Amino acid sequence: MIRRPMWLAAGAALGVGGTMWTRRRLERLSRRVRPTAVATELASIAERTKRGAVHKVRDALDTGRTEAQRRQDDLWHDLSARDRAPR
């Protein structure tokens, strides 16, 4: 007969402990989800995305300039070789 009160107390303790843990977890989550926190997080994500896009555009422009210069050099080389060739 002593087992039933022990299991009742253990169940109550686990219930209270689980409820307190859940409450603390939800309070932390609610602090993170407040409108100011969400706005700050969104602004941070937008800033990182903008920086990434700027670097990608800059890299693409640099690559384009390099390739354009290389192609121009090739064309000048071909033109000078054609002028030197016997007719």
Is residue 31 within 8 A of residue 37, CB to CB? The reply is yes
Average pLDDT over residues 67-84: 92
pLDDT at 81 exceeding the cut of 90: no
Q: Which two tokens stand for residue 65?
A: 């300039």
pLDDT tens for residues 24-74? 888 888 777 777 777 787 888 888 888 888 888 899 999 999 999 999 999
C-alpha–C-alpha distance, residues 37 and 25, integer Å? 17
Residue 1 three-state SS:
coil
The pTM of this model reads 0.44
Boundaries of every domain in the chain = 1-33, 39-87
